[in-house]
Chains A and B, each alone.
Chain A
Amino acid sequence: MSSVLGLRCRECDRQFPAEALHVCDFCFGPLEVSYDYDAIAAVTSRASIEAGPRTMWRYHSLLPVGNETPVSLGAGFTPLVRAERLGAELGLKDLWLKDDTANPTGSFKDRVVSVALTKARQLGFKVAACASTGNLANSVAAHAARAGMASVVLIPSNLEKAKVMMTTVYGGQVIAVDGNYDDVNRLCAELTSERPSWAFVNVNVRSYYAEGSKTLAFEIAEQLGWQVPDHVVVPIASGSQLTKIAKGFSELATVGLVDGDGSLRISGAQAQGCSPVATAFNKNIDAIAPVKPDTIAKSLAIGNPADGYYALAAIKNSGGGCGSVTDGEIIDAIKLLARTEGIFAETAGGVTVATLAQLAQRGVIDLNEKTVAIISGHGLKTVEALTGHVDPNHTIPATLDAFDAAVGFDDPLFN
């Protein structure tokens, strides 16, 4: 049984079959999966979901792969943690964190890649490929290994070392390209034309891939007791994750799993060095001007965001806000999150937490709102960003005298 009706152009509404298509061949608008929600509702209940695996695949019926066996490393159903100490620092009384650092390769990308490779296998592809700023590369290489597929991953050559190694270790082809992410992505878009037998997860199977982000919304609602929060704060690179989280909450209401998402507000988080969506939001214009990224938050450094228009619309329609933060604020926020909640996030998580602080301070987030922030990736991926910011307190010889001299008995912390 498949509840997928086909693909639909978000710009001009033309309909397409559910194949490896990603853009409308008339206007280049992105294609989106459309579903028969009555068919989904008929086979989906809170009980059927709760009886499913403790992964994102408990929402199988809301994902575009029919009955195909998932390509899965166990992504999803990550912790939703009440963040009392961070909330107290920011003046937010009901703050929650969706800790997607807990995914198998350390980022939310495992959600989208798990869907993309499942669909790619269903469509008969043998090779998985992608353009990536790192997190996607890690995840594609790992999931391809799991599925027994070949992989070809293109990355910018200046990527953090950990992200490169976390990709190469899985044994696929890794091609470092001189240029930034937008350059790599453009090469990938052109390659998609030239290598039609490859599944470029974020290009020709993007319509399916992107659906994986809906599971963030599904899980948040279920983990809150089948309740939609008041406010969600989401980092923006291409804008896809934010757009799909909005779609996810809306679908839950459509199929009757939650009572409605009418009051949900969605806010976006960007780094100042790459903030095309925040700029358009703050200028109150609909056109998103591409920028040349310059930020330590490389996983968000997309200067020409493909889903930026839709992310902007989702923010505006929900009454949310959009902030942008400096590299210094990002590093401070990574440390604040680690110190208060024991979660070590990569730079994108720093962007989200710093933006959370900014939006709370500006009154965009009400202090009593049930607010969920998405922490999308693990800090081990971007340790370079913290160089010089988190050194040991003392370096001493291995003697008690030296220790006592460094950490005295009169230190209030230890009495």
Chain B
Amino acid sequence: MPIIVRVPTQLRQLTAGVGEITLEAQTVGEALTALDVQYPGFGERLFDDAGALRRFVNVFLADEDVRFLEGLATPTPENSVISIVPAVAGGSI
């Protein structure tokens, strides 16, 4: 099913500057893997050697951190929007 992946600035060098990629996937993990197939280089940046999301990579499905959902196995209904966001926070203290 077609879904959208939003790519942050830091990774747009891999997509020739494109910030939104439309692709087909049933889960968050499939979407990120498909992204790596279409634009090689995403995989090594998003995943550690064990295949888990790197600790400073946050992935959101709509407005929810996928770590609060089913992680990479979280299903992605048609027209879902996945955002890849660097885990840099700030806030207060």
Give chain A's interface residues, CB within 8 Å of chain B: 11, 22-30, 108-109, 130-136, 179, 181-183, 185-186, 189-190, 192-193, 196, 201-203, 206, 209, 234-238, 240-242, 287, 289-290, 292, 299-300, 302, 304-307, 309, 348, 376
Given the complex of chains A and B, what is the CA–CA distance between A179 and B86 in angstroms? 19
Are the CB atoms of B91 and A181 closer together than 8 Å?
yes
Are the CB atoms of A237 and B91 closer together than 8 Å?
yes
Given contacts A27-B54, A196-B9, A290-B68, is CB(A302)–CB(B91) below 8 Å?
yes
Given contacts A26-B45, A27-B45, A304-B65, is CB(A238)–CB(B10) below 8 Å?
no
Given the complex of chains A and B, what is the CA–CA distance between A190 and B8 in angstroms? 7
B68 contact set on A, CB distance < 8 A:
290, 292
Nearest CB of chain B from residue A142's CB, rounded to whole Å = 16
Are the CB atoms of A299 and B89 closer together than 8 Å?
no
Given contacts A193-B19, A196-B9, is CB(A131)–CB(B54) below 8 Å?
no
Nearest CB of chain B from residue A210's CB, rounded to whole Å = 8
Are the CB atoms of A299 and B92 closer together than 8 Å?
yes
Give the nearest-CB partner of A201 in chain B: B90
Nearest CB of chain B from residue A28's CB, rounded to whole Å = 4
Give the nearest-CB partner of B9 in chain A: A193
A135 contact set on B, CB distance < 8 A:
92
Within 8 A of A (CB), among B49-93: 54-58, 60, 63, 65, 67-68, 83, 85-93
Nearest CB of chain B from residue A42's CB, rounded to whole Å = 33
Contact of A238 among B19, B67, B89 (CB under 8 A): B89
Are the CB atoms of A192 and B9 closer together than 8 Å?
yes
Given the complex of chains A and B, what is the CA–CA distance between A289 and B8 in angstroms? 23
B63 contact set on A, CB distance < 8 A:
179, 183, 186
Given the complex of chains A and B, what is the CA–CA distance between A183 and B60 in angstroms? 11
B9 contact set on A, CB distance < 8 A:
192-193, 196
Contact of B60 among A109, A132, A186, A376 (CB under 8 A): A186
Are the CB atoms of A203 and B90 closer together than 8 Å?
yes
Given contacts A25-B13, A183-B63, A186-B85, is CB(A237)–CB(B8) below 8 Å?
no
Q: How many residues of B contact A (CB 8 A)?
A: 28
Give the nearest-CB partner of A179 in chain B: B63
Are the CB atoms of A23 and B93 closer together than 8 Å?
no
Are the CB atoms of A28 and B45 closer together than 8 Å?
yes
Given the complex of chains A and B, what is the CA–CA distance between A389 and B13 in angstroms? 55
Given the complex of chains A and B, what is the CA–CA distance between A237 and B91 in angstroms? 7
CB-defined A-B contacts under 8 Å, sample of 30? A23-B10, A28-B10, A28-B54, A28-B86, A28-B87, A30-B56, A109-B92, A130-B90, A132-B91, A133-B91, A136-B91, A136-B92, A183-B63, A185-B90, A186-B60, A189-B8, A190-B8, A193-B9, A196-B9, A202-B89, A202-B91, A203-B88, A240-B90, A289-B67, A299-B91, A302-B92, A304-B58, A306-B56, A309-B55, A348-B93
Given the complex of chains A and B, what is the CA–CA distance between A304 and B57 in angstroms? 11
A234 contact set on B, CB distance < 8 A:
93
A192 contact set on B, CB distance < 8 A:
9
Given the complex of chains A and B, what is the CA–CA distance between A301 and B2 in angstroms? 36
Given contacts A23-B10, A193-B19, A289-B67, is CB(A306)–CB(B93) below 8 Å?
no
> B34 on the interface (CB 8 Å rule)?
no
Contact of B93 among A179, A190, A237, A290 (CB under 8 A): A237
Are the CB atoms of B56 and A27 closer together than 8 Å?
yes
Nearest CB of chain B from residue A268's CB, rounded to whole Å = 10
Give the nearest-CB partner of A242 in chain B: B93
Give the nearest-CB partner of A303 in chain B: B65
Are the CB atoms of A304 and B90 closer together than 8 Å?
no
Nearest CB of chain A from residue B8's CB, rounded to whole Å = 5
B23 contact set on A, CB distance < 8 A:
none
Give the nearest-CB partner of A184 in chain B: B91
Are the CB atoms of A189 and B85 closer together than 8 Å?
yes
A348 contact set on B, CB distance < 8 A:
92-93
Nearest CB of chain A from residue B20's CB, rounded to whole Å = 11
Are the CB atoms of B89 and A304 closer together than 8 Å?
yes
Given the complex of chains A and B, what is the CA–CA distance between A201 and B88 in angstroms? 12
B85 contact set on A, CB distance < 8 A:
186, 189-190
Are the CB atoms of A236 and B88 closer together than 8 Å?
no
A29 contact set on B, CB distance < 8 A:
56
Are the CB atoms of B6 and A30 closer together than 8 Å?
no
Are the CB atoms of B93 and A108 closer together than 8 Å?
yes
A28 contact set on B, CB distance < 8 A:
10, 45, 54, 56-57, 86-88
Are the CB atoms of A202 and B90 closer together than 8 Å?
yes
Are the CB atoms of A304 and B88 closer together than 8 Å?
no
Are the CB atoms of A290 and B88 closer together than 8 Å?
no
Given contacts A23-B10, A186-B85, is CB(A131)–CB(B56) below 8 Å?
no
Are the CB atoms of A185 and B89 closer together than 8 Å?
yes
